Amino acid sequence: MSAQAILEKLAGLAKDVNDVLQDPFFESWSMQRRHVMMGKLAARRTADVGAVFLGHHLQHARATNERRAFIHLAEDFLDNPPTELPPNSVFLLLNNDIGKRLPQYIAFYNAHPEVLFVVWDWDSQHWIYMSSALAMHSDVYVPASSENIHLLAQFNPYTLGPVFAAAHQWSRRFLFEHMDLFLAERSREPLGMHVFYENYPRRNRAIATLAQSFPTVGFATNAFKGRSDLDNLKEWAAHKTHWIVPVLAGVPIRIYNALVTGGIPILPSFYKNLPEISILGTLPSYYQVADLLQAAAVNDEAVARFDAGGESALVARLSDAIQHHHIDARCEQLLLALEDLLTSALKNDTSHHLGYIGARL
């Protein structure tokens, strides 16, 4: 496809999206969502968040605020949803907790007008149908990515954030209990096993090219989901660097996994312009398309930065990442922001704005 053809196709796609957003549906839907929220707030009469039901993907999250009680749901809870719900309960679910059970979730949502439903959409950058449906059927919609926010916010006037994702594969206690793994000798080869996605050939070409330089970068299956938490942690902690090839512009969870295990993430150069990455300062290394053909030099630079400062620098990076980029910290950030949003809504304060959430507590 020529450059001119690409430009014309992009312009046409943008016009199609803008044309859709002019539909009167959005005015009526926004007013309906406001009516529902006002009814729930009138019943709650408080912005405080105490009992929080968490989806299965947040199973390792623990409350850091004594005002809160986390209640962890089973992976298949939508097949047999709970009926005993404490007053003023909040459901905090990831898009992945809903997935193929979207119809069951919508039915559950509609059956419990006394509950506040918050959906944290970790795939808001490339699962548009699901993201739009979840924004429509949640009281507060929380995208994790800065991409597509204008589009998705049209479906819910109570869109919070974005609230960046976080490392959620291991509990903080588990990470501290295995600190010896982080201080052991590591491989200079980058870890970069990615699941093959047919819909993203550009990403697949980049991974295939890197695999020619590094045996530890390539295509993997979802077998890691069947391995123990310890085995997965050992793999992440065994490398100084992590080469990351995203599907689009969203920030993959593996960036945060790299951080909380002390590694240096190697990211596409256009990531420097993302708010999600700007908060990481000078920690990541970056690569351009041309660097895929001379990847060793990029990795060597990242390894040198890992080695700089020795063990004390590594411990400092680990401490900072676990404090600021673990799921415990991010859940509390989200819930504080939620309380602020609810307080503003109760007061009819239309100036409420929190911006990007995930930089620091």
Task: Tell me the CATH number at 301.
Answer: 3.40.50
pLDDT band of residue 347 (cuts 50, 70, 90) is confident
pLDDT reading at 16 higher than 60 = yes
Residues 60 and 142 in one domain: yes
Q: What is the pLDDT of residues 240-259, one digit of tens each?
A: 999 999 987 678 899 999 99
pLDDT at 222 over 80: no
> In terms of domains, do 181 and 318 share one?
yes
Tell me, yes or no, whether 266 lies in a domain.
Answer: yes
Domain count, the chain: 2
Half-sphere exposure of residue 140, counting CA atoms within 13 Å on the CB side? 27
Domain that holds residue 269: 172-324
Q: What is the pLDDT of residues 52-83, one digit of tens each?
A: 999 999 999 999 999 999 999 999 999 999 98
Tell whether 183 and 140 lie within a shared domain.
no
pLDDT reading at 22 higher than 50: yes
Look at residue 195 and give its three-state secondary structure. strand
The whole-angstrom separation of Cα 298 and Cα 293 is 10
Confidence of residue 311 (pLDDT cuts 50, 70, 90): very high
Mean confidence (pLDDT) of the chain: 93
Residue 361, pLDDT score:
43
pLDDT beyond 50 at 113 = yes
254, 294: one domain = yes
Q: Are residues 118 and 201 in the same domain?
A: no
